[in-house]
Structure 1
Amino acid sequence: MMAAVTGIGVVAPNGVGTETYWQAVLAGRSGIGPLTRFDARGYPVRIAGEVTGFDAAEHVPSRLRVQTDRWTHLAFTAAEMALSDAGADTDELPEYEMAVLTSSSSGGTEFGQYEIERLWSKGSRYVTAYQSIAWFYAATTGQLSIRHGMRGPCGVVCTEQAGGLDAAGRTCRLLESDGARFVLTGGTDASLCPYGVTAQAATGLISPSEEPERGYQPFASTASGYVPGEGGAILVVEQADAARERGAKHVYGLITGYAATFDPRPGTPDPEGGSRLRRAAQLALADAGLECGQVDVVFADASGDPERDRIEATTLREFFGPHGVPVTAPKTMTGRLYGGGAALDVATALLSIRDGVIPPTINVPALAPGCDLDLVRGEPREGPIRNALILARGYGGFNAALVVSGTE
């Protein structure tokens, strides 16, 4: 069975709406700028990829806005876009054959912080009952399931930046063996609040730069970490036969391969150098039935941390050969979006296949020693794209690889 992606919804720092985002990416337009969602003075993060111009009141009913976090508001919006794009009327589909599987990294941190502040400053009577659910990792999955009457198998994957690929890969399993025919998958994140930023900064991987053009430069000799961001993508994924039966407007592509691995504990003697990213890529391509030479582009994890970048570049060199495949990291225009980042990469890869163009990586002036990649920089690169390999790593040792392919 092939899993067909029939709808895409994007809410990103450089564009709200799939085509708006895509045009921004092709133009190399960044959404990274000064952090404005709170007074960041005194915090180790001063720049971020914020979804600007997004007013939840324009997209989410008032009764749901007060019950949910911004992270879920973004997912509501992206899901509506994806369903509309897919031409799907959920009232006409069997409710127990529709499922929701999303990725989440931080949960509803902004909502949780606000409620905890009320608890400390005013007392327990001022904390709403919605605190018990709005912060929870599965809140977005549950809310989407309720709102759209999707009563099939639902779940959430919590593997940080790798989560979007894990959710998409597990969606294929739902379609193959768990009775689902129509799935909302992907993920969003919105942790640009003091609580969320403090937790993220504890990893030591966030760039200290205050300059948007210098803060996130993966594979560069000047790399100093990454810039956090918010947003993501929601996808409609269906059984290919079922999509044809219901008259889907279009199919962006197929999810043809997936694998996940886990790194050994840091400091453990390991002949593979402590990373299982290469193994994940090997397994994903084997799952897709592809050889290395059939991959037309790699959407890199691109952590921005010099050591992690070196490991990924070495993996790609050993796998494809030096400069053996075009590599890109459009997330340099959004920042790393945690639970939403890999889902946005999947959406971007599908748009790349649709239009036959590889989007650029920006703000990488010169590659670091050892990062001998064919990195697509500055301008898009045109050419037929049949198969894209997407890589993602989550903090804590998570690795995931996904292959998406065209339909012709």
Structure 2
Amino acid sequence: MTVPVVVTGLGVTSPNGLGTQDFWSAARAGRSGIDRLTRFDPASYPARLAGEVPDFAAGEHLPSRLLPQTDRMTQLALVAADWALADAGIRPEELPDFDMGVVTASSSGGFEFGQSELQNLWSQGSQYVSAYQSFAWFYAVNSGQISIRNGMKGPSSVVVSDQAGGLDAVAQARRQIRKGTGLLVCGGVDASLCPWGWVAQLAGGRLSTSDDPASAYLPFDRAADGHVPGEGGALLVLESLDRARARGTHIYGEIAGYGATFDPKPGSTREPGLRKAIEVALDDAGMSPDEVDVVFADAAAVPELDRIEAIALTDVFGPRGVPVTAPKTMTGRLCSGAAPLDLAAAFLAIADGLIPPTVNVVPAPEYELDLVVSSSRQADVASALVVARGQGGFNSAVLVRAVD
């Protein structure tokens, strides 16, 4: 018998809200966290807007010894993990070390820390490069630091598949729960809003160059011309349903289904893999398309990619067959943190019976999507599909649903 795996804790660090409640309050109200970059002067760059996590001072949340050895990305992740565990009612020191694990996703690693140490290298010499550079930049550092901070010695790993990675990490955590591990912290938090990280994102050719936060990130809109990047994400605590019920803890819902595919090479006549990923997730969950109450879209804001996603959704659900939303229009695309943040929003939508909006967008009618725009929509939400695509061809889909 398949073991149901549920979410019992959420930890959110988002550009439109630090902490789960602040984020959800902003998402419900359609309040955006996108604005001109402040972490460095972007005047000389073609893209100048981003979603920055507000009012985050790492020293207010973490011991001072951790600050010199961690990138901003890891500081955000450590705080998100603390909040997720507290939300789940978990005190790690009271549990067996090997009964807890960590699976995170990463898209860029600790770019800002790496840039700082490279500057020290060329300006002052190798003796001024921090020994922490050996790991602070690394893709797996969030998993490592969370596991060390909480004494977690069970299965731990990192997944690197750009924006799809956050869903892949949750799916990997679900596998480990089903294999017998008691608790997994999983999801993704990214932060690379520094010049080195910025030019890397610019090289992808998908950033909006608009200076108007209200018109820069417009997925499924005829004016779509690239996305706004951001920082942050969400971490989730996963447990088996039986264990969560035995603890008497609050349950947000079940990770019910997962599917992942890879797109064919550019120029191929084969169809993209997103639709198949959704169908695999539905099959894994034992659900039909008409049982899905809302879709949290990938929302690339690149016309061809928007077209591909719209076709995949209409092929599976029918024209305007299911409400679709993209609350990341309020945060920017957070690399590996984006889809876990959508998962958090999906569980909160189930709890509140409310679908957060896709802000600023005028839906292009040719996409035939029932896009929730302008303001939140009241709805009976018992299940949600979250889809994510990573640059290079990654497609992932996760179905979540309420637990009776």
Tell whether 2:307 aligns with 1:305: no
Which position in structure 1 is the counterpart of 2:253? 253
Which position in structure 2 is the counterpart of 1:113? 115
Q: Distance in 2 between matches of 1:268 and 1:371?
A: 23
Which position in structure 1 is the counterpart of 2:399? 403
Q: Distance in 2 between matches of 1:93 and 1:247?
A: 16
Q: Distance in 2 between matches of 1:397 and 1:30?
A: 28
Matches within 5 A, 1:157-172: 157-172=159-174
Which position in structure 2 is the counterpart of 1:88? 90
User: SS state of the match for residue 227, structure 1?
Assistant: coil
Tell whether 2:384 aligns with 1:383: no
Which deviations, in whole Å up to 9, do the C-alpha atoms of 1:210-258 show, x marking residues without a partner? 110011000001111100000000111111111222332x000000000
Which position in structure 2 is the counterpart of 1:34? 36
Aligned length: 402
Tell whether 2:339 aligns with 1:338: no
Q: Which of 9, 12, 20 pairs up with 1:10?
A: 12
Which deviations, in whole Å up to 9, do the C-alpha atoms of 1:75-96 show, x marking residues without a partner? 1111111111111111121210
Residue identity in the other structure for 1:393: R
Q: Distance in 1 between matches of 2:293 and 2:366?
A: 22
Which position in structure 1 is the counterpart of 2:265? 265
Deviation at 1:42, TM superposition (A): 1.4
User: SS state of the match for residue 11, structure 1?
Assistant: strand
Q: Distance in 1 between matches of 2:18 and 2:149?
A: 21
Indicate if the aligned counterparts of 1:105 and 1:161 stay in contact, CA closer than 8 A: yes
CA RMSD in angstroms, aligned pairs only: 0.8
Indicate if the aligned counterparts of 1:356 and 1:382 stay in contact, CA closer than 8 A: yes
User: SS state of the match for residue 366, structure 2?
Assistant: coil
Q: Distance in 2 between matches of 1:241 and 1:369?
A: 45
Q: Which of 26, 48, 63 pairs up with 2:65?
A: 63
Deviation at 1:331, TM superposition (A): 0.2
Q: Distance in 2 between matches of 1:134 and 1:57?
A: 17
Distance 1:236 1:329, change over 3 A: same
Which position in structure 2 is the counterpart of 1:206? 207
Q: Distance in 1 between matches of 2:319 and 2:287?
A: 20
Indicate if the aligned counterparts of 1:221 and 1:369 stay in contact, CA closer than 8 A: no
Indicate if the aligned counterparts of 1:106 and 1:189 stay in contact, CA closer than 8 A: yes
Which position in structure 1 is the counterpart of 2:234? 233
Q: Distance in 1 between matches of 2:30 and 2:295?
A: 18
Which deviations, in whole Å up to 9, do the C-alpha atoms of 1:290-325 show, x marking residues without a partner? 000000000000001111001101111111111100
Indicate if the aligned counterparts of 1:314 and 1:370 stay in contact, CA closer than 8 A: no
Residue identity in the other structure for 1:263: D
Residue identity in the other structure for 1:144: I
Residue identity in the other structure for 2:141: A
- Comparing 234-243 with 334-343, greater Cα deviation is found at 234-243
Residue identity in the other structure for 2:380: P
Q: Which of 130, 134, 137 pairs up with 1:132?
A: 134
Indicate if the aligned counterparts of 1:100 and 1:184 stay in contact, CA closer than 8 A: yes
Which position in structure 1 is the counterpart of 2:24? 22
User: SS state of the match for residue 66, structure 1?
Assistant: helix
User: SS state of the match for residue 367, structure 2?
Assistant: coil
Which position in structure 1 is the counterpart of 2:218? 217
Deviation at 1:368, TM superposition (A): 2.4
Q: Distance in 2 between matches of 1:293 and 1:269?
A: 30
Q: What TM-score do you get using the length of structure 1 for normalisation?
A: 0.97
Which deviations, in whole Å up to 9, do the C-alpha atoms of 1:340-372 show, x marking residues without a partner? 1111011010100111111111010x2225211
Residue identity in the other structure for 1:373: L
Percent sequence identity is 57
Deviation at 1:269, TM superposition (A): 2.8
Q: Which ranges of structure 1 fall in alignment gaps of 5 or more residues?
A: none
Q: What TM-score do you get using the length of structure 2 for normalisation?
A: 0.98
Residue identity in the other structure for 2:401: S
Q: Which ranges of structure 2 fall in alignment gaps of 5 or more residues?
A: none
Indicate if the aligned counterparts of 1:302 and 1:329 stay in contact, CA closer than 8 A: yes
Residue identity in the other structure for 1:385: V
Matches within 5 A, 1:311-322: 311-322=308-319
Q: Distance in 2 between matches of 1:21 and 1:155?
A: 27
Which position in structure 1 is the counterpart of 2:279? 282
Residue identity in the other structure for 1:209: S
Which position in structure 2 is the counterpart of 1:143? 145
Q: Distance in 2 between matches of 1:283 and 1:339?
A: 21
Q: Distance in 1 between matches of 2:188 and 2:275?
A: 24
Indicate if the aligned counterparts of 1:313 and 1:370 stay in contact, CA closer than 8 A: no
Which position in structure 1 is the counterpart of 2:158? 156
